[in-house]
Amino acid sequence: MLKEAISYSIDHDESVKLVQVTDPHLFADPEAQLLGVNTAHSLDAVLNTIKAVEYPAHLLLATGDISQDYSNQSYHNFVAAIEKLNLPCHYLPGNHDDPRIMNLHMQGPRVYGDRRILLGKWQIIMLDSTVRGKPGGHMADSEMAFIEEAVAAHPDKHTLLAMHHNPILVDCKWLDQHCMDNGEEFLDRVSSLPQVKGLLWGHVHQGLDQVYAGNSGPLRLMATPSTCIQFKPKSPYFALDAQQPGYRLLELRPDGSILTNVYRVPGNKFSPDHESSGY
């Protein structure tokens, strides 16, 4: 049985506006670094950039890898950091998160682990693609059934699916080892649902925006850069990119179309250790 969704009062002729941040990889220690980048400082720079553009967002989505060290404090640090945006935040786990610890400590006055969100003409479904103890992902049958049940409950609403792992390969041989291992099956199944208009994820630390020719029409596929280090696109081996930390803005329109762009912190303040061979 479906748990009740969290609902926001938005007119059906109004676009739903979202900010997505992903993969901040925070530590308990706010001065700790990941491959040469202070992840607390880079997240703060992203949040300051979002605040400066004054995008009239309804929600913030945080799509996993909130923590790098699995600590209680790393989640408290994230909640404290996002307060400046003054937005409701909905989150889901990544492979660097411990869902139990996350759910206990991602707590704030407007921080939610609810898995279904209703706004205007849209339903957003927050998915768990993680596999305990593994960097790669898998979409369990129970998650597939959850999507189908949620869509059936609101057949009149367009649907955005949010997750952590990439269901398609991104042409990085080392990184594609850690994709969603049943991504092709997942795409085939969700694309048979005409309500599903887009898939949104993190994990790959780079931007991607493609259209998948689904069984019931085109499906938007979107990956978003990390708020800390970036992985070099189309690299066969582990390599870091010089691009700055980023985020994504989305406008979900009442007709089911999606307008979206990736944006990055201006300047070149955050420079990772390019000699690193992994993390």
Q: Is the pLDDT of residue 113 over 70?
A: yes
Is 203 annotated in a binding site? The answer is: yes
Q: Are 225 and 264 in contact (CB under 8 A)?
A: yes
Segment 121-143, tens digit of pLDDT: 999 999 999 999 899 999 999 99
Higher model confidence: residue 218 or residue 262?
262
Is 23 annotated in a binding site? The answer is: yes
Residue 276: the pLDDT is: 73
Angle at 260 between CA 254 and CA 261, to 5 degrees: 165
Segment 76-102, tens digit of pLDDT: 999 999 999 999 999 999 999 999 999
Is 96 annotated in a binding site? The answer is: yes
The kind and range of the H/E element at 204 are none
Residue 214: the pLDDT is: 83
Is 158 annotated in a binding site? The answer is: no
Predicted TM-score of the model (pTM): 0.96
Segment 204-253, tens digit of pLDDT: 999 999 999 988 889 999 999 999 999 999 999 999 999 999 999 999 99
Q: Looking at residues 62-73, what average pLDDT do you find?
A: 97
Is 69 annotated in a binding site? The answer is: no
Q: Looking at residues 141-168, what average pLDDT do you find?
A: 97
Residue 277: the pLDDT is: 66
Burial 127-141 (b: 16+ CB within 10 A, else e): bbbbeeeeebbbbee
Amino acid identity at 114:
D
Q: Is the pLDDT of residue 184 over 70?
A: yes
Is 241 annotated in a binding site? The answer is: no
